[in-house]
Structure 1
């Protein structure tokens, strides 16, 4: 396989026009080698990544996907003792596929709790922190709040019905005070925060652009009034036409780790027409989105974000509108900050945006 891929790489270099189908074939061979347990497979897969991506034979989005996929497969399939030699030299910069692949490898190893105490890996990670690589912001081991990442439990998939939501989370009751407060909420547009919160879904290729909105309140909202009656009064696209389908909107109290896990899964699994981004970047995007929902500054230490998350109130909600199709993946959260005067809302769906009927 390696010899065939190497020959294909030479044809791309020598023939002039780069053939996307040839590059895709080399990419598939590289992934197969990464998934084949042996020390030679590690060396050959890494060599092909460097050859293929250094030549610019793939568009940036596809090259990122391949690099992250290869890193994930290497960590899943190979022995750590065969991966460790890749970190014999520390980098002098953050550019290039060789450094990026190793950064992703460190990110994947952190998620499975492997690599701690290995001097070469820790030296490489420290150098990435000095150089400011984005993945170097992440801790070298999984935090307790990340316990649900990539864990599948039978019966605990996405929420598709109101019955499922009520059976697993406590419902936040409707109140008249919540409706009054919702009508008084003011729009607080923040494109930077919105982009960060939506990034996990964009990276994963979810079918529709997420709705991310921020609101301010003239006076603190009583925690008892933070429920569906409050949310329904906000000018949200995802709730337009509420009641047009059979069923009523509802909201349930949830926990920060539930929100963080959904953000992680959005880009780790990928949308029905998208691609998974691997664990390292799915983890980064999840934390960036999570901090954006709380309005924390970029680069805040993640343990500080965990501490602050406990002071916020978190809701998961659903409705029966043209936004929520309840057939693939629908996600909707509302977050109330500790001052009780700022609210963030995130709604995302993986249903085809062209499907507007109530079927």
Structure 2
């Protein structure tokens, strides 16, 4: 019965009408307050209804939902509205409406995690949720080379890689891996950080350097033929992959909705650059331009080469710190590790 009522709420949210907006929001709040749904089911329903309201309803019909200020962030009704504001920001809707802006300011005062995100989509987020025919996930070396310029292997890179030191940081690693863990990818991602005794020349930042790092994802020969390679990419490409990992979810996982996928992507992005969470997003965008970004691919036992295998390496502006993030997903079986 609970799931049936949830489907009714989703249908109402998708039906353009001010009354449907009110009824959908009320149903979701009541369902979650009654405790009849598991946390995972409740999150999925709430975020689904928020996304449908943002896409299907006129802003003027949504605006009455924000007439009353929230007293806290634990109420499901408040969470729905926070997600709705996040979804509206992603589609560029609802801007300039006083009640929405005031509600967003109140959420920021209360410390809601979504409230740290801007109410408009940044230019670096231009690919979020956009699907382009022929540009799906990169699965083969040929696809990688066709989309990105290859970073050449150098002897200097191999020498520098052997001198890299592990800089373990569990908190930072968890933040970097969050989009993939939240989306329920088949294998736990690998997030690692390294320091170098002397600056690495950007020309030596390639696959010969990465192969010398003690990474789990590069262990083993693998069942597929192919040589590891790395290609130069851009910060917006990496940020979009992080968003997609959480927004779409793993094959056996669950998408997190646009608002939280955006939050998870930025948390991971900050972690890769080693930025404190208090740094404004536009400052983080400026910092990202000073970093070097690589995509890499390997044919080892760790990667599945099935649905998606994003792997990135990031060199900081001092050329002495490197972050690596790799993830893999499959619909064959579910793994942990």
| TM-score in terms of structure 2 length | 0.96
Tell me how far apart the structure 2 counterparts of residues 61 and 119 of structure 1 sit (CA, whole Å).
Answer: 33
Tell me how far apart the structure 2 counterparts of residues 272 and 243 of structure 1 sit (CA, whole Å).
Answer: 22
Indicate the residue corresponding to 1:166 in structure 2: 145
Indicate the residue corresponding to 2:266 in structure 1: 287
Indicate the residue corresponding to 1:9 in structure 2: none
Tell me how far apart the structure 2 counterparts of residues 149 and 202 of structure 1 sit (CA, whole Å).
Answer: 19
CA contact (8 A) 2:251 2:331 kept: no
- Which stretch of structure 1 is more off in the superposition, 304-313 or 234-243? 234-243
Look up the SS of the partner of 2:173 in the other structure: helix
CA contact (8 A) 2:187 2:334 kept: no
Tell me how far apart the structure 1 counterparts of residues 131 and 36 of structure 2 sit (CA, whole Å).
Answer: 36
Indicate the residue corresponding to 1:16 in structure 2: none
Deviations 1:266-287 (A, max 9, x none): 1111111111111111101100
- Give the superposed CA RMSD: 1.4
Instruction: Give how far 1:298 is off.
Output: 1.7
Select the residue among 162, 165, 172 that pairs with 1:186.
165
Matched, 1:252 2:198: no
Q: Given the superposition, is the C-alpha separation of residues 268 and 355 from structure 1 closer, same or farther in structure 2, using an over 3 Å criterion?
A: closer
CA contact (8 A) 1:137 1:299 kept: no
Indicate the residue corresponding to 1:341 in structure 2: 320
Indicate the residue corresponding to 1:40 in structure 2: 19
Look up the SS of the partner of 1:349 in the other structure: coil
Report matched runs for 1:231-310 at 5 Å: 231-242=210-221, 245-310=224-289
Instruction: Give how far 1:163 is off.
Output: 0.8
Select the residue among 295, 311, 314 that pairs with 1:316.
295
Instruction: Give how far 1:353 is off.
Output: 8.2
Instruction: Give how far 1:306 is off.
Output: 0.3
Indicate the residue corresponding to 1:23 in structure 2: 2
Report matched runs for 1:78-89 at 5 Å: 78-89=57-68
Look up the SS of the partner of 1:330 in the other structure: coil
Q: Given the superposition, is the C-alpha separation of residues 347 and 185 from structure 1 closer, same or farther in structure 2, using an over 3 Å criterion?
A: same
Indicate the residue corresponding to 1:3 in structure 2: none
Structure 2: give runs of 5+ residues left out of the alignment. Answer: none
Deviations 1:296-317 (A, max 9, x none): 0123210010010011100000
Look up the SS of the partner of 2:208 in the other structure: helix
Structure 1: give runs of 5+ residues left out of the alignment. Answer: 1-21
Question: Greater CA radius of gyration, 1 or 2?
Answer: 1
| TM-score in terms of structure 1 length | 0.91
Select the residue among 72, 87, 100 that pairs with 1:93.
72
Instruction: Give how far 1:82 is off.
Output: 1.2
Matched, 1:69 2:48: yes
Deviant stretches of 4+, over 4 Å: 352-356
